[in-house]
């Protein structure tokens, strides 16, 4: 049965039938060895075809409105498998400005070793992307909202350029989640997620996901088999279970983040606030067109306070890495997601020492405001 509502997809899509006891949850298949005679295929965890991996892949595809999906061991496993599957020696790829630090590190330090050239555009507008296309350009990669500055790239405009020049279009949809944004509906070819974040949602699993057309997912799967980034059955089960509550979690995080962003704008100790739901955000109108909600992520700059001491004063909000969980956490991007960039590279991206990234959870927003307020002094 095909479900239309994302609420129902979150709960029911991909669930495995538990035949002996007729339980409502998918069973966990712990085997790493499966019979192969008369089967037609070899089932093995590294081949991404064990039952629990296929269940999660089906749910991810349903949530992103694509034909196929794939679940991997981390977000970077999803990103690296995709790029190496879609690109070969002599190819050129375009990347937006403001990439996640792990992606930037791979692109700037690893792709050249495979004979793959790249350009990171100076501005994330369609005209700049199109000007950088060469005869060997094969792929365009965007991330919107971006990490950690929450910049917005016009998905439909990038799709138009990609189709015009016969490029494969790829998006990292981690910050938005499938609840807030479905890039495939706008024509994007491949959708990536760090499933560690909103899909997992509880800071207790590490996983990645890819969604897209069957033929492209098969290409990525073949590369991923060689790279070995598979996910064990227990973690697949936890991810599937977590996605059952994805919609209700993200709805609460959207609401809290929107209220917090507006409150932070009024605080004297706060400088710039980055949140696409703010009318003053330069990408607000574009975000309204392509997003159903503005997300649970925001970032802000402290006007004068020391960012480390500020975080140490927090009592409820934890200074911690990662994002997308039910509890609110905060981090300095220069010390976490973008620590591998040089100071010059971070400056070019607009990531300052005073910048703090806030992953908003599902707590009472008034308690979060009180905690941030007392830390501000």
Instruction: Please give the positions annotated as active site.
Output: 46, 100, 172, 197
The DSSP secondary-structure symbol of 175 reads T
Task: Answer whether 118's CB lies under 8 Å from 257's CB.
Answer: no
Nearest CA to 176 among 292, 264, 256?
Answer: 292
Task: Answer whether 144's CB lies under 8 Å from 126's CB.
Answer: no
**Both structure tokens of 332:** 């300095």
The DSSP secondary-structure symbol of 23 reads B
* Exposure string over 54-75, b if 16+ CB within 10 A, otherwise e: bbbbbbbbbbbebebbbbbbbb
Residue 177 to residue 151: CA distance in whole angstroms: 15
Mind giving me the DSSP string for 236-264?
A: HHHHHHHHTTHHHHHHHHHHHHHHHHHHH
Task: Answer whether 295's CB lies under 8 Å from 253's CB.
Answer: yes
Residue 115 to residue 91: CA distance in whole angstroms: 8
Nearest CA to 357 among 326, 327, 334, 325?
Answer: 334
The DSSP secondary-structure symbol of 85 reads H
The DSSP secondary-structure symbol of 371 reads H
* Exposure string over 195-232, b if 16+ CB within 10 A, otherwise e: bbbbbbbebebbbbbbbbeeebbebbbebbbeeebbbb
């Amino acid at each position: 049965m095909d479900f239309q509502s994302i609420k129902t997809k979150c709960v029911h899509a991909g669930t495995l039938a538990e035949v002996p006891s007729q339980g409502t949850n998918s069973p966990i298949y712990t085997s790493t060895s499966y019979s192969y005679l008369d089967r037609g295929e070899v089932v093995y965890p590294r081949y991404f075809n064990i039952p629990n991996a296929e269940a999660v892949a089906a749910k991810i595809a349903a949530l992103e409105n694509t034909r196929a999906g794939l679940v991997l061991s981390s977000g970077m496993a999803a990103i690296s498998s995709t790029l190496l599957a879609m690109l070969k020696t002599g190819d050129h790829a375009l990347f937006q400005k403001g990439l996640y630090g792990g992606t930037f590190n791979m692109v700037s330090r690893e792709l050249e070793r495979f004979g793959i050239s790249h350009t990171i555009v100076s501005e994330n507008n369609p005209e700049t992307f199109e000007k950088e296309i060469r005869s060997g350009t094969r792929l365009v990669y965007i991330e919107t909202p971006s990490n950690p500055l929450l910049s917005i790239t016009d998905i439909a405009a990038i799709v138009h350029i990609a189709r015009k020049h016969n490029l494969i279009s790829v998006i990292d949809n981690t910050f938005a989640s499938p609840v807030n944004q479905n890039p495939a509906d706008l024509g994007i070819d491949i959708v990536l997620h760090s499933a560690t974040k909103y899909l997992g949602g509880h800071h207790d699993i590490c996983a990645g996901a890819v969604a897209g057309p069957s033929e492209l997912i098969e290409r990525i799967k073949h590369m991923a088999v060689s790279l070995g980034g598979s996910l064990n059955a227990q973690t697949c089960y936890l991810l599937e279970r977590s996605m059952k509550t994805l919609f209700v979690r993200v709805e609460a995080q959207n609401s809290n983040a929107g209220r917090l962003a507006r409150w932070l704008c009024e605080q004297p100790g706060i400088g710039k606030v980055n949140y696409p739901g703010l009318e003053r955000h330069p990408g607000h109108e574009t975000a309204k067109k392509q997003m159903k909600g503005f997300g649970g992520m925001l970032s802000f700059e402290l006007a004068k306070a020391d960012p480390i001491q500020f975080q140490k004063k927090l009592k409820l909000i934890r200074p911690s890495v990662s994002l997308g969980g039910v509890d609110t956490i905060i981090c300095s991007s220069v010390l976490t997601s973008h620590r591998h960039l040089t100071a010059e590279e971070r400056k070019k991206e607009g990531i300052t020492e005073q910048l703090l990234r806030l992953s908003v959870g599902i707590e009472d927003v008034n308690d979060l405001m009180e905690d941030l307020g007392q830390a501000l002094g």
